[in-house]
């Protein structure tokens, strides 16, 4: 093992630079390896676009947001946008990527990514590439790990937003809706809702009923609480309804972009009652900015553990936080199915015990 590659794939999230830094430092300090960073996710692998990473280039980036390597959630080497006879079409460029790795004498590749990127990583592993993965996403929806890095920073941002909405909601006696990200899982909504003391938490795993949401707001009104805070996951659904899609991005391997359920709920509340309602869509603020200390630490642990996994020959695996230990698990386990909130689980139970409603009139 002399030279390794690293790339950051999919949507960015806080902590990417801390992982790049940890991978590079551990590889150089502990094993004297060379490290190449591919640019803009898997795209750099196909186009052979890379930079040398050394102790100097990763110095001072552990606390910064984004990724110094760039990322992309649309470039899949197995379905790569290519010009053929002057026309744009999708072709399989995975062999070209593997050839690039071979020509660069790269012995192993560390893929820092979420669900989509890890599906691609697994395909490369199946084709013989020595891959180790690091679980990234603010959505916290990967299996086989207790947490993905970036999630806790997103929760921190959403929780602060709830704090800010509280004061203005109270002043104006309004209902304030905060729409947060998370795709098909309600982790950000649930954690931020508990942390920020939301009155209603809406998540994809528990379809809500409008009358139950309004009932909760009215109950509070009767208790002289003339405002309410609702945190809603972008993937939340009304019972019998469908997820609200903001747009389709067909250049991406996951074309669905969720968004808009907060505005729909506000409209529905105002139509069904005379409760004044406002909406804040937190959007990419949840992905930007510096990682909180928790994510800096877990990212550092993941990065170092990924290098150890490479040196131990544990290819096709992902580093994972299980309990308080970092272990390795098969990538296949992590991507088998999306990890979702358990509607009967302890976290939901905690929120209910605190008097929070999931819009289901229990
Ligand atoms: O997976 C991370 C995530 O931020 C989701 O929470 C969100 O649905 C999606 O990415 C947004 O993607 P884009 O950056 O393409 O708008």
State residue 224's pLDDT score: 97
Decide whether any atom of ligand 1 lies within 6 Å of the 182 Cβ.
yes
Decide whether any atom of ligand 1 lies within 6 Å of the 181 Cβ.
yes
Residue in 139, 156, 199, 295 annotated catalytic = 139
Q: What is the mean pLDDT of each run of 10 residues along the chain (362 residues)?
A: 97 98 98 98 98 98 98 94 92 98 98 97 98 98 98 98 98 98 98 98 98 98 97 98 96 91 98 96 98 98 99 98 98 97 98 98 86
User: Whole-angstrom Cα distance, residue 232 to residue 165?
Assistant: 14
Reading the block at residue 204, the tokens are 């994809």
State residue 236's pLDDT score: 98
| Closest of 182, 174, 186, 180 to residue 158, by C-alpha | 180
What is the model's pTM? 0.98
Nearest-CA residue for atom 14 of ligand 1: 11
243 close to 261: Cβ distance less than 8 angstroms: yes
For 230-262, give the DSSP string. EEEETT--BTT--PPEEEE-TTSSS-EEE--HH
Residue 286 CA, closest ligand 1 atom number: 4
Say how many Å lie between the CA of residue 289 and the centre of ligand 1: 15
| Closest of 304, 300, 320 to residue 312, by C-alpha | 304
For 157-221, give the DSSP string. HHHHHHHHHHHHHHHHT-EEEEEE--TT--HHHHHHHHHHT-SEEEBTTB-B-HHHHHHHHHHHH
282 close to 178: Cβ distance less than 8 angstroms: yes
Query: Phi, psi (5° rounding) for residue 91?
Result: -130, 160
User: Whole-angstrom Cα distance, residue 303 to residue 17?
Assistant: 10
Say how many Å lie between the CA of residue 283 and the centre of ligand 1: 8
State residue 253's pLDDT score: 80
Nearest-CA residue for atom 2 of ligand 1: 11
From 8, 181, 235, 289, the mutation candidate for ligand 1 (largest count of ligand atoms within 8 A of CB) is 181
Decide whether any atom of ligand 1 lies within 6 Å of the 183 Cβ.
yes
Task: List, in order, residues 6 or more apart from 204 with CB less than 8 Å away.
Answer: 182, 184, 185, 186, 233, 235, 236, 237, 243, 340
Decide whether any atom of ligand 1 lies within 6 Å of the 303 Cβ.
no
SS3 at position 263: helix
Residue 259 CA, closest ligand 1 atom number: 8
Decide whether any atom of ligand 1 lies within 6 Å of the 136 Cβ.
no
Quote the Cα angle for 340-10-178, to 5°.
55
Say how many Å lie between the CA of residue 147 and the centre of ligand 1: 18
Is position 139 annotated as part of the catalytic site? yes
DSSP state of 142: -
């Amino acid at each position: 093992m002399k030279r390794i590659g690293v790339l950051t794939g999919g949507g960015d999230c806080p902590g990417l630079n801390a992982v790049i830094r940890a991978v590079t430092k551990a590889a150089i300090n502990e094993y004297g390896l060379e490290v190449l960073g591919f640019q803009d996710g898997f795209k750099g692998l196909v186009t052979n676009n890379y930079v040398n990473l050394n102790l100097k280039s990763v110095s001072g980036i552990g606390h910064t947001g984004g990724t110094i390597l760039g990322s992309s959630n649309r470039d899949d080497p197995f379905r790569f946008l290519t010009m053929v006879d002057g026309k744009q079409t999708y072709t399989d460029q995975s062999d070209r990527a593997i050839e690039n790795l071979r020509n660069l004498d790269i012995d192993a590749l560390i893929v820092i990514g979420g669900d989509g990127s890890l599906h691609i990583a697994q395909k490369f592993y199946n084709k013989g590439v020595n891959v180790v993965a690091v679980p990234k996403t603010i959505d916290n929806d990967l299996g086989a790990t207790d947490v993905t890095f970036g999630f806790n920073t997103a929760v921190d941002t959403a929780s602060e937003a709830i704090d800010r909405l509280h004061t203005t909601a109270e002043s104006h006696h309004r209902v304030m809706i905060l729409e947060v990200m998370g795709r098909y899982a309600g982790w950000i909504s649930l954690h931020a809702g508990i942390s920020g003391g939301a009155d209603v938490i809406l998540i994809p795993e528990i379809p809500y009923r409008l009358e139950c949401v309004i009932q909760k707001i009215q109950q509070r009104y009767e208790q002289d609480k003339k405002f309410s805070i609702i945190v809603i996951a972008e993937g939340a659904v009304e019972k019998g309804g469908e997820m609200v899609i903001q747009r389709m991005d067909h250049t991406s391997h996951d074309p669905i972009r969720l968004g808009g359920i907060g505005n729909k709920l506000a409209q529905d509340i105002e139509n069904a009652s005379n409760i004044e309602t406002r909406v804040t869509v937190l959007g990419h603020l949840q992905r930007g900015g510096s990682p909180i200390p928790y994510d800096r630490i877990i990212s550092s642990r993941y990065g170092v553990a990924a290098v150890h996994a490479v040196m131990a020959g544990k290819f096709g695996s992902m580093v994972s936080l299980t309990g308080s230990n970092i272990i390795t698990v098969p990538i296949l386990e992590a991507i088998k199915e999306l990890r979702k909130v358990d509607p009967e689980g302890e976290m939901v139970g905690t929120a209910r015990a605190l008097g929070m409603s999931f819009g289901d009139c229990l």
